[in-house]
Amino acid sequence: MKIKEEFKKLIPPLTADEYSQLEANCISDGIRDAILTWNGFIIDGHNRYEISQKHNLKFNTEEKYFENENDVKEWMINNQFGRRNLSNYQRSVLALELEGVFREKARHNLSLTGGDKKSGLANLPKPIIQSINTRDEIAKLADVKSRTLGMVKTIQQKAAPEVKAKLETGEVSINQAYQEIKKEEKKEAVKTERSRLAEIGKDKKIDVDFRLGDFEKILADIPDGSVDCIITDPPYPHEFIECWTKLSRFAKRVLKPNGFCIAYSGQMHLPEVIKRMNENLDYYWTFAVYHEGQTQIVNGVNLICRWKPVLIFQNGKKKISNTIQDYFISEQREKTGHDWQQSQSGVGYLVEMFTKVGDLVCEPFAGSGTTINVCVDKKRKIIAAEIDEQTYNIAKANL
């Protein structure tokens, strides 16, 4: 008996329990169904043949006739569809093999017509109905949705072998595996775009006072009491908590009397953030920014976060003259420049509410340059710093 791997792979593997049951049946009752072959190659009965060799069991064979290997594959796939309780993943994998078979048949038939797509097909011994070589038709044959077939095609092309193994056993769903691939593709696309922007920004000359490095060091020459407002977005993870003490100390020095320090903050470490800011500044209020079109699960507390605190501190407390709403909506943000990038509309609201044309704004954690762009657009002077070189160059490219 001959085994062709190309044929054998068209047989979805049995589970351990299924194989054990088949083995027990064969030992108890013998191998009752004939093992089917084509040109001596097994096309149905691979597991029964393996069990027969293991236990020295007798079996019968039956030779089938097909014109070529594509006809064999088509028969094998349809045979599997009709006789086993296959998962949607297994049915889809087989359907994709069928798609390849039909494509090869169509190519072969086209060669017989001399490349004429419009004539000659009807005169072929076994003409191919052109419409069957579509994803919808193949999905119908496999009894799966066309969208499912599309997802599995992506999975087969891009998923790691261990992921495919988990799909075979049902540990991972088709949707889970597909979404993970799309997530990784998006990450890679963002990474590529950031590299491209950083290259553009590296040698770009700008007319803004924007500096690379730790803000306490590179902004040390800002005169005391010279800044009208600080608008910034420090990093949220606890490993960066010391940034808030540095920001509080820096703001106390550079802000004008009653000048505001406005900072986006995460919620996980909010009490400690406020405590550190209070060391040098006066707490004024907390605004809420609602992120439109976004949801994020904070795993540490198992909550879906839809809004973010914006902390308002002041260098000496004094009531502002204009009446301001403490809630604003930020449109969906782009993340091409930085993972923590804020929207321009949200920053724009804060700039307009807390500063006036010609005021000096400082941004110690500039990121990809959102605050800088808003200030330039709204005719405010800006001094900014960013510690990460790639992000600094991205911000320059965005200016």
* Same domain as 151, residue 59: yes
Answer yes or no: do 152 and 211 share one domain: no
CA distance 370 to 322: 25
36 and 120 share one domain: yes
299: CB partners within 8 A, 6+ apart: none
Last residue of a domain, one of 153, 185, 217: 185
Residues 115 and 29 in one domain: yes
pLDDT for position 49: 94
- Residue 76: Cβ within 10 Å count: 24
Domain termination site, one of 131, 154, 185: 185
Q: Is residue 190 part of a domain?
A: no
Domain identity same for 239 and 349: yes
Q: What pLDDT is attached to residue 336?
A: 52
**What six digits make up the tokens of 289?**
């920014």
> Angle 88-112/146-158 helices, nearest 10 degrees?
90
Q: Is residue 197 part of a domain?
A: no
Residue 128's pLDDT is 46
| Mean pLDDT over the full length of the chain | 88
Rounded to a whole number, what is the distance in angstroms from the first to the last CA of the chain?
71
* Residue span of the structural domain in which 217 resides: 206-398
Residues 173 and 216 in one domain: no
Instruction: Of 220, 214, 210, give the one whose Cα is nearest residue 243.
Output: 214
Instruction: Give the pLDDT confidence of 68-124 residue by residue, as tens digits.
Output: 888 998 898 888 887 767 889 988 988 888 887 777 776 766 666 665 555 444 444
In a domain, 196, yes or no: no
10 part of a folded domain: yes
Do 97 and 229 belong together in one domain?
no
> What are residue 295's phi and psi, to 5 degrees?
-135, 145
Q: Is residue 367 part of a domain?
A: yes
Q: Are residues 171 and 239 in the same domain?
A: no
Domain count, the chain: 2
Q: Whole-angstrom Cα distance, residue 311 to residue 52?
A: 75
Domain assignment present for 103: yes
Which residues of the chain are modeled with pLDDT < 50? 119-133, 337-340
| Whether pTM exceeds 0.75 | no
Residues 212 and 176 in one domain: no
The confidence score (pLDDT) of residue 131 equals 43
Confirm whether 372 is domain-assigned.
yes
Contacts of 246 (CB under 8 A, 6+ apart): 215, 216
State which of 156, 185, 214 marks the end of a domain.
Answer: 185
Q: What is the pLDDT of residue 116?
A: 56
Q: Measure the CA angle with vertex 51, ends 48 and 56; round to 5°.
A: 115
Say if 201 falls within a structural domain: no
Picking from 243, 215, 249, 257, the residue whose alpha carbon sits closest to that of residue 383 is: 215
180 and 227 together in one domain:
no
Looking at residue 333, its pLDDT comes to 53
Instruction: Please give the structure tokens belonging to residue 122.
Output: 């009807």
pLDDT for residue 292: 73
Q: Quick one: 94 and 220 in the same domain? A: no
Collapsing DSSP states into helix, strand and coil, what is residue 161? helix
